[in-house]
Amino acid sequence: MKSQLPVARGATTDIAAPWRDPRLSATDRAEALIPLMSLEEKVAQLVGVWVGADASGEGVAPHQFEMMDDAPRWDDVIRHGLGQLTRPFGTAPVDPVAGARSLAASQAEIVAASRFGIPAQVHEECLTGFAAWRATVYPAPLSWGASFDPELVEEAAGRIARSMRAAGVHQGLAPVLDVTRDYRWGRTEETIGEDPYLVGTIGAAYVRGLEQGGVVATLKHFAGYSASRGGRNLAPVPMGRRELADVILPPFEMALRLGGARSVMNSYAEIDGVPVAADESLLTGLLRDEWGFTGTVVGDYFAVRFLQTLHRVAAEPGDAARLALRAGIDVELPTVDAFGAPLVEAVRAGAVDEALVDRALRRVLAQKAELGLLDEDWRPVPDDVERLRLDDEVSRDVSLRLARESVVLLRNGDGVLPLAPEQRVALVGPLADDPIGMLGCYTFPAHVGVRHPEHGLGVEIPSLRDALREFHPGLRYAPGCGITGDDTSGFAEAVAAARESDVCVLAVGDRAGLFGRGTSGEGCDAVDLRLPGVQAELVAAVLGTGTPVVLVLLAGRPYALGDEFDPAAAVVAGFFPGQRGGQALAEVLTGAVNPSGRLPVSVPRDAGGLPASYLAPPLGHRSEVSSVDPTPAFPFGHGLSYTTFEWGTPEVVGPDGRPEVDPDLVTGWPVDGEVTVRVAVRNTGSRAGTEVVQLYLHDPVAQTTRPVVRLVGYTRVPLEAGQAAYATFTVPADVTSFTGLHGRRIVEPGDVELRFGRSSGDQAATIRLRLTGAEREVGHRRRLLSPARVEPVPTLPPTAAEVRG
């Protein structure tokens, strides 16, 4: 049964007005409406209000948060219209059907109250799924990166979009495209990894899924947020423009061009003393003038006022509004503040040109037109609202498949894994029986639900203990200690359980939370990369039993695994693998699933803040001029399988499709051309498995220092036992480009190498190439991808030794 809520329009609305005509372009419709609006009506479209849906289904209401002195009166908020509604589902637990009806009731009030009857655009968080009670929880972004599977991430994003639109939500505040630069940063869990190509390709896939599902994707945080000094949240960013251009910005370019994102959120960061929220060169000069972005720029929560209160580049709210609007921020979130009365006063006083208001308004209205919010036949109630379910079998299956692909087997000494059915297994550690340990900070249960324990988790989240005892009913369990704190009283029980078992699975790591309420998450930065609390001491005690130990890390960042962890027989990493993460881990531990995840971040050996990203020039790696060795315990891209793979001799494929067999041949590669390369991989084990073939660029001599290697392509290669396949890449010379001495992006002629790798630290095969021609400048329209394909082959090509002899 559908709701009979009224669909009112303002009294002065002309239904024949051009801005109502869906046959016109979105921009033309916006242009037709702007001259009709008063200043107050214009500004009202540039703000949101933070609301919560009422459990009765009767409407949303403003909520008071730390940046708001007084909660606004609803009637006052909507009388001139309203730009956005902030997180009606993500503020408190509410039944999805009641929430959708509540949202629809409020939209009807917004339409009826204002002169033009324009609904609000509704946004929600969706980093790990629709952040609503009873919605499917997907793995965290580090798990997306670990999967090296853009297609599956796109599928997950499509499911997320479907649930959001069904509930009446138009915009999602995801994905996070920050490239990890310091693992101590609490929001590392929200990033996809430490490599811009991986972040960009996976992020663009997520954007495609969201946008094709009718939800506006919001790229964040543009730009530099993840490179703060000391890994401290909101700390200044000590970054040059070259690092910004070559490491931080490419994922945003890829998500805009390859994904079609329609919104961007500013970074809280300041770069070289200029807060991004006030940086016209970034938000307008680069993003719009150079890259051609036409969507909306939304302010990160309270970022406009932060120009006054934190950055202190504005004297008062109206001045903060002036700086942000001039820089290119179109919408102030989460609630009306500096873009409200202070902005109106500043315009009337002549401090802010009304043309800047119109510029932002044009973008906001055009996006609303694209979403159908200016159409005369718009209705507030979603179709089939009474049948709304946010957690269904198909979504849970996608979440599980992504979790399975994201589990990384780092070490498997003496083949201790998979666990044998007859073994006596002990399960110990603070994450062994903790469902929340599967979830990242921006999941609803961890982000909001912790404040409402009486409502429960909302969805079924098996712990590792729940899932593993399906395979080992006699599992012996002891937590040993807490995630934090210094209580070691449980050590003795954990040690006894390990000693009396054939193998011990030891689960340690993080609890996600906000601003100090967790060990990972927003505002939960780490002093160093030691395991929180006394977990390292627990590991040492259990390792001391002599029982083979399988160390399972459930964490939002890579923790240091130095010499003291070397006695662990096996190490498995799961980066907040989501609602079905416990099941995925248990399946990998028992061999029901063959692991295929690869590290999206390096795992350091040293607990100090190095930082330790693999993307570094020669002197950023181990050298004779420093006593500090940053070599990781496990490098970016590393991951093992329960089967074995043999790699053949790499080949350059000519225009005629025939390969060059001689590996010593230096092949010419025009600076404006492309090269096709391939390597054959055979599964030489006894069971099916997936190898992840990674392609790295090595540039031995360049006009600026370059990373020793950097990722320029990858593909998953699933193979049955005995099966072989070619992993083939078509690599445009554009992907070799970098920011040269004069600040322009160039393709530089000279010798380079394409290295096929099992990881950034394990190159299996190398092809020597020479970029030919004159130095070539490239811009935003350059080719960004090295397309890959997997093709079966009957036999491996000859080895280098066979070719020579």
What are the tens digits of pLDDT across the range 246-261? 999 999 999 999 999 9
Find, among 415, 429, 435, 522, the residue nearest to 477 by Cα: 429
**Which residues lie below 8 Å from residue 309, measured CB to CB, with a gap of 6+?**
none
d(CA 187, CA 175): 13
311 neighbors 320 (Cβ within 8 angstroms)? no
How far is residue 172 from each of residues 157, 158, 210, 211, 214, measured CA to CA in Å? 10, 12, 8, 10, 10
d(CA 709, CA 614): 8
Question: What tens digit of pLDDT does each residue of 690-743 get?
Answer: 999 999 999 999 999 999 999 999 999 999 999 999 999 999 999 999 999 999
pLDDT at 10: 43
**Which residues lie below 8 Å from residue 330, measured CB to CB, with a gap of 6+?**
46, 296, 297, 298, 359, 360, 363, 364
662, amino acid identity: D
> Residue 142: helix, strand or coil by DSSP?
helix
Question: What tens digit of pLDDT does each residue of 171-182 get?
Answer: 999 999 999 999
Encode burial over 230-260: b for 16+ CB neighbours within 10 A, e otherwise: ebbbbbbbebeeebbbbbbbbbbbbbbbbbe
What is the total residue count of the chain?
805
d(CA 571, CA 576): 16
pLDDT at 665: 67
776 neighbors 670 (Cβ within 8 angstroms)? no
pLDDT at 6: 39
The pair of structure tokens assigned to 501 is: 């078992």
Angle at 584 between CA 191 and CA 579, to 5 degrees: 60
- pTM, 2 dp: 0.95
d(CA 459, CA 457): 6
pLDDT at 518: 94
299 neighbors 277 (Cβ within 8 angstroms)? yes
Backbone angles phi, psi at 261, to 5 degrees: -60, 140
Low-confidence ranges of the chain (pLDDT < 70): 1-16, 53-71, 609-611, 661-665, 794-805
591, amino acid identity: G
Backbone angles phi, psi at 753, to 5 degrees: -130, 140
Q: Classify burial at 601, counting beta carbons within 10 Å of its beta carbon; exposed 0-12, middle 13-18, buried 19 or more.
A: buried
Backbone angles phi, psi at 739, to 5 degrees: -85, 115
